[in-house]
Amino acid sequence: ARTTSKFVREFKLQLAINGSFFYPFRQYPPNSYPKSGDPVIVQGQVISEGKSYAPPKATSSVLCISKFIRAQIYQKRCPIGTSQGLAGREILLKEGKPAVLGGRGGENLFSPRTAVAIDKSGKTLWLIIVDGRQKFYSEGVSLAELTKIIQELGADSALNLDGGGSSTLVVANNTKLRVLNSPIQTRIPTRQRPVANHLGIYALPLENRE
């Protein structure tokens, strides 16, 4: 496990969010787990550079990115030939309409949330972070509210990722990192939680883009 800032710094990225649900997990000290460097198990399929390092899970859905940089969301597993894959849980939006949630419990709770959404072409990707659990700042949103927010963006499909204290968005400006949201770990605002994996993005400098 590692924090999102550490992930961005280690892999020299321009942007990253936290990713998949994982276990084991204990929220509160003195026995909170994981800490940076601790082993964890991802819930669902994860693919990096065409190689799978976590198997599919029946109750998970996956953001799948092809070698042609086209994103799609699938239930359980990515198709053969997928370049990058990141497991989440609930599909929130399908063909522009709210999906039926599976009734796992917790969908009506106000919590910090992380989600990804894509347009119909699969060429536009939204990274969505909602802060929560911080009195007088933000209580978070339910999954229904999160779905409505994403629908208003004009997305075609969306996937719920690990939320709660895991929700973190970090950008890099040259060598300086900036946390764009207010994560909360062990009840401490702005403290980052070490998590199992991330969705990271490399971007060329503006002057080098064609």
Task: Characterize the bridge pairing of strands 169-173 and 15-18.
Answer: antiparallel
Looking at residue 57, its pLDDT comes to 96
pLDDT single digits (tens) 39-75? 999 999 999 999 999 999 999 999 999 999 999 999 9
Tokens of 153: 């963006």
Distance between CA atoms of residues 26 and 52, nearest Å: 27
pLDDT single digits (tens) 79-121? 999 999 999 999 999 999 999 876 666 788 999 999 999 999 9
Q: What is the pTM of this model?
A: 0.94
Looking at residue 105, its pLDDT comes to 64
Distance between CA atoms of residues 205 and 210, nearest Å: 10
Residue 138 DSSP label? B
